[in-house]
Chain A
Amino acid sequence: MGFITQHAVLVVSIVKVAVLLLAALTVNAYLTWFERKLVGHIQSRIGPYFVGAHGLLQPAADGLKFLFKEDLTIPTSDRFVFCLAPLLSLTLALTTLALIPFGPATITIFGQPTELVVANTTLGLLMVFAISSIGVYGVALAGWSSNSKYSLLGSLRSSAQMISYEVSLTLSIVGVVLLAGTFDFRTLVEGQGGYWWHFLPRWRVFPQIVGFMCYFISAIAETNRAPFDLPEAESELVAGFHTEYSSFKFAMFFVAEYTNMITVSCLATILFLGGWLSPFPERWTWQLYIPAVGLLLTGVALLADAAFKWNGIARLQLVAVSLLALGLGVLALSPTVMLVIQGVFWFLLKVFLLIFFYAWARGTLPRFRYDQLMSFGWKLLLPVALANVVLTAFLIEWWNR
């Protein structure tokens, strides 16, 4: 234990990183499941169903498949870059995640008070953008190195798209930054506490609704998601920049994509949706029970499901899951944990909603054509975002007078 107490900072950071990574990867996996389910239901299918109850084991199966598939690398490709590209995208994606605070509370690990964020910096926002702006390389290099025209075209498209939309993405949050006057996530969130007219939370989405829309649209484009998923437009260029990638390298791109999705959603939450703040006033103490109750209800529902609809392995599975849920629920009832969880709960809830929105969009909207995409980005989104910035600046100045 001596060592730990000595280098507490280091150890704590390592632990946090480990936890975050684990969480991120798992969540990613289950995001795919969730998305497939959702899209399936939107398209009046049921989606994954047979691998485990409700296809709950589908992600695991996919993971295994990725691991055990043969790792092809084309002889004519540029080996080094070919391997570098996926690494780059994944690393950068996860790194940005490290800057996101998930809650206000300070918990104590090994007698070391720490916050719910891996890297705490006052310029968090800037850093996130800085890092995410490098993410382009993953795509670009992947396409170039795999020495195939589909890949090259795909990567050119996607990197062009990412760059174009990065501009409006950055511009759209300037309004918020102007309002808050800081790059620090914590301050950004706390600035959104309180109410307008005693009922409307001071979330910046309301004054910055235009900014929010711009942000969300360009975020979708930035992460190459439908309806802006031209880079992997199957109908046109097989699978875009990662056409030539297989097994684990492909998985990296895959994970990176979902991680980016989470990141931008987190950013949206923090910037516009009041981060971990609950929508309800402080004095409604009953709201503290919402997470616990939610978990318990889920557990009960699952138990009922297991009891009546399933049998065999699937049933055991469901039972296990429901027990997990119940256990968590009970844990969440304990006062200390309850307090800690609050922020995280609200935060994750909002993020989840946004991601739901993502999936929803994918399920409903048709894909853009490339020129449409570009003209939309440069001729509509960018000017609007700019106008928003200017207007906001003027209003703020006017207010201060």
Chain B
Amino acid sequence: MPLLANLWIVLALPLAGAAVNGLLGRHWSRRTVNSVAIGAASLAFVSTLELLREFFQLASASVPWVRFYFPWMTAENFHIDFALQVDQLTVVMLLIVTGVGLLIHIYSAGYMEHEGGYYRYFSYINLFMFFMLTLVMAANLLVLFVGWEGVGLCSYLLIGFWFRKKSAADAGKKAFITTRIGDMAFTVGLLLAFWTFRSLDYQTIFQQANTMPVENTGHIGVLTAICLLLLGGAVGKSAQLPLYVWLPDAMEGPTPVSALIHAATMVTAGVYMVSRMNILYVRAPIAMLAVAVIGAVTALFAASIGLVQTDIKKVLAYSTVSQLGYMFLACGVGAFGAGVFHLMTHAFFKGLLFLGAGSVIHAMGGEQDMRHMGGLRKKIPVTYWTMFAATLAIAGIPGFSGFFSKDEILFQTFAGPYRNPALWAIGLLAALMTSFYMFRLFFMTFFGSPRYDEHKVHVHESPKSMTVPLILLAVLAVAGGWWALPAMWGSENHFANFLAPVFASAAALAPAVDPEQHSLKLGLTLIATIVALTGLLIAWGLYIRSPHSADKLATSFRGLHRVLLHKYFVDEFYGFLIVKPLFWISINVLWHGVDETVIDGTVNASATVAQRVGGRLRRIQSGNTRSYASWVVMGAIGVTALLLGVWEWIR
């Protein structure tokens, strides 16, 4: 078992790629650079496959498979190893990260062809891959935290990739700072966890947690506290309410980055963490509820904003947020498996959507506003068809991957162990909106008459390096959900079964679900399907049949439209509530007050004192040798006197 024996190889590959490119890439041709980067990524993917093979041969007893590499820090009873582990969840995540990551590497090779800082870009995304892998392979919370912060760093670097553009730089900072707020909570959570369990290793924590009682509603215990704090981190990283604001701005980065980081992998870290900590969460119902509510609300909220956005990437960004909301919802209702399932499918189709959007933008020569697109169907067929698949998937049209995962979530919400019909309703509404705005995007982009100057912009299909990943992802987006196909007729869900061991103890704790609930499944599925189709039809009605009705609608509901268009004024709200006061305090208190008055004051004061005293003492230094000599003689007298023990004599 070469790879299981030393897991670090999987990490080392992208890191090596990043290091090589970062240090030497500057002087290399683009070809060399991207072959190095893609080589690293593909090697990582291959090794993951090998890892998977070996993993299947592993006796279930020895899962999770933990490896200690070296003691990282040790302070008497605080001991952290650099340890990695592999279990089913990790394997899934590994596949997503390396697989989608690889595709996006390849895609980037084409997309970034004409950009500066080529080597920088590839070194960054390799680095990102490394940190993401660290995050998912970590065997204790601190190593996870390293990956956690690492991906944050990479996303900062990549969002601000075009750092000469102010908006990009700002977006980078915004992302970094916003997630920082979440990470603050996360860190406190870590400390609390350590204080409680005297360790940060998953296994130790889980063993101890297993012996702890469920903190039922009404009494909030340490577990609840830990879970809520960790949730804070997750909210920040996974762009949930109220910290989602950074993600839409993150679209300033190159589109592949949006695909890789802000759709497929990084933002799912929160979901991953929650489901990793499932054993804790199931023992803290309040936290669970919080997760569910946040998820549901975010889903609806983001979707509603997505309805009216006109920037193609913005729409996708908000859809990402809302999809993440779904995942949280899933976790919140104890359907961790479903959450992870949706995470995977979402990685496929959202990655695809972003890449497609990138391809469109590439074709339109940088145009991002859907109002200036249209009728691209014929011009860029590959993109068109792949996007179509992805749209169907996300909209939840039966047979496509998104359908299965979303359906699973909704079902679990309605009939799962922690069922909650209200949230199910919200979820359903969100689903409707989702399908609507997705088809709106789709129609506005590919159908109707071109709304751009055909002479200026000559639309062209993207190069192979971009289309091939599209196709591959499209396949996944279509077929990625078929694991769960049997579940349709009540048979077992392979994916869920695969993940089951991870959530076993959680499941054991869950209240029993009476079997006739399953009979609901078909009905619920039907409802979901209808909802999806409704969304499709509305979109078709508004944007194909009578293209101008949309604007009429917008004008008739101007107020609502404006609110949505301005994203509920959340940014302005934050700006008013937090940023302004912060500025005020910084400027008036910290700058003028503390810095100028106190610090500069002391410094200047000491300087002036020194100057005054110096001015007096200066008279001693007359420059006249004879005076100096006198001083020397005094010194000599003093020394000799001391040597003679004058002090004893005086006493």
Are any A and B Cβ atoms less than 8 Å apart in their complex? Answer: no
